[in-house]
Amino acid sequence: GESVGLHLPTLSVQEGDNSIINCAYSNSASDYFIWYKQESGKGPQFIIDIRSNMDKRQGQRVTVLLNKTVKHLSLQIAATQPGDSAVYFCAESHGGSEKLVFGKGTKLTVNP
Amino acid sequence: NAGVTQTPKFRVLKTGQSMTLLCAQDMNHEYMYWYRQDPGMGLRLIHYSVGEGTTAKGEVPDGYNVSRLKKQNFLLGLESAAPSQTSVYFCASSLLTGSRTPQHFGDGTRLSIL
Q: Which residues of B touch A36 (CB under 8 A)?
A: 105
Residue B98's pLDDT is what?
65
pLDDT in tens, A17-42: 999 999 999 889 999 999 999 999 99
Q: Quick check: A7 pLDDT over 60? A: no
- Residues A53-57: what's their mean pLDDT? 96
Q: What is the pLDDT of residue A98?
A: 78
Q: Is B99 within 8 Å of A89 when comparing Cβ atoms? A: no
pLDDT confidence of residue A58: 97
* pLDDT surpasses 90 at A5: no
Distances (CA, A) of A8 to A36, A104, B61: 16, 10, 30
Are β-strands B10-13 and B109-113 bridged in parallel, bridged antiparallel, or unpaired? parallel
To the nearest whole number, what is the mean pLDDT of chain B? 94
CA distance A3 to chain B (A): 12
Q: Which residue of A has its CA nearest to B34?
A: A99
pLDDT-derived band of residue B61, with 50, 70 and 90 as boundaries? Answer: very high
Instruction: For residue B100, name the pLDDT band (cuts at 50, 70, 90).
Output: confident
Residues of A with CB under 8 A from a CB of B: 31-32, 34, 36, 41-46, 49, 89, 93-100, 102-105
**Which of B45, B91, B100 should we substitute to test contact with A (largest number of A Cβ atoms within 10 Å)?**
B100
Q: With cut-offs at 50, 70 and 90, classify the pLDDT of residue A4.
A: low
> Would you call B43 and A89 a contact, using CB atoms and an 8 Å cutoff?
yes
**B28 Rama sector, left if φ>0, alpha if ψ -120 to 50, beta otherwise:** left
Q: Which residue has the higher pLDDT, B102 or B41?
A: B102
- Indicate the residue of B42, B102, B105 with minimum beta-carbon distance to A43: B105
pLDDT in tens, A57-100: 999 999 999 999 999 999 999 999 999 999 999 999 987 787 88
> B3 at the A interface (CB within 8 A)?
no
CA distances to A40, B22, B39 from B113, rounded to whole Å, are 21, 18, 16
Task: Provide the 10 A C-beta neighbour count for residue B101.
Answer: 18
Residue B42 confidence class, pLDDT cut points 50, 70, 90? confident
Reply yes or no on whether the pLDDT at A3 is more than 60. no
pLDDT band at B2 (very low <50, low <70, confident <90, very high): confident
